[in-house]
Amino acid sequence: MNSSPADETLMQATAGGDLAAFEQLVVRHQQSVWRTAYRMLGCQDEAEDVAQQAFLRVFEARDRYRPQAAFRTYLYRIVVRLCLDHLRKNRPALAEHLLPVDDRTSAQQQAADKEQTEAVQQAIGCLPFKQRTAVVLRYYEGLCGREIAEAMDTSLKAVERLLARARETLEKRLGDYFQD
């Protein structure tokens, strides 16, 4: 079955007062919004707040939404902005760097995995905000360069530079895991 309505159609229906259409959008995109917020913030409670706010923002903007960019990109853009706002408001000193490792995630891991997961999470958390965003959208959300540029409101060249710098930092910080 390939008959499910496009995101853009559902957004139009939402603007027309169809809450069920909005619900479909939430169900369809909740996983990516959650993943992105969690990767950006490293904390489940904060990620849930931001993910909820993101959908409420989409709902509030339902009348103004114009399908210029893909809905998905539009949604990522909102999530990323909200993550930045959230970090600035709640962890001003840490807005650019470092996020905590969520113990509840770690508790679910086996000991060996846990160490590696923590190292990865910490390495991502140490990246400046823009680099972290590019990494999250590239590696966890599978966006291509052009889509990342759209979501980050920047150029493709800038995204490539961000990713290159991020990879350099990550390789250094995760050096132990590169030896085979």
Partner 1 sequence: MRCRDVQSKLDLSVRQQLTSVESVQMEAHLASCPACRKALAKLRRLEDLLVAAPVPPIPEGFAERVIVQVRAQQTAMALRKPDSRFPVWARLRSSTGIAAALAAGLLLGLFMGRDTWRSGAGGQAVAASQRTDLLAAAGLEPLIERGGDPLTQSYLSLTMAGDR
Contacts to partner 1 from residues 102-131, by CB under 8 A: 102, 104-105, 108-109, 113, 116-117, 120-121, 124, 129-130
Give the residue with the Cβ less far from partner 1, 15 or 120: 120
Q: Are 77 and 40 in contact (CB under 8 A)?
A: no
Q: How many residues does this entry show for the chain?
A: 180
- When binding is defined by CB under 8 A, the residue of 69, 72, 126, 139 that contacts partner 1 is 139
d(CA 154, CA 95): 20
Could you tell me if residue 155 is left (phi over 0), alpha (psi between -120 and 50 degrees) or otherwise beta? beta
158 token code pair: 């800038």
161 token code pair: 């530079």
Q: Are 101 and 56 in contact (CB under 8 A)?
A: no
- For residue 107, the surrounding DSSP H or E stretch is helix 103-107
Contacts to partner 1 from residues 27-56, by CB under 8 A: 27, 30-31, 34-35, 38-39, 44, 48, 51-53, 55-56
- Residues in contact with partner 1 by the rule CB under 8 A: 19, 22-23, 26-27, 30-31, 34-35, 38-39, 44, 48, 51-53, 55-57, 59-60, 78, 80-82, 84-85, 88, 102, 104-105, 108-109, 113, 116-117, 120-121, 124, 129-130, 133, 135, 139-140, 144, 152-154, 160, 163, 167, 170-171, 174, 177-178
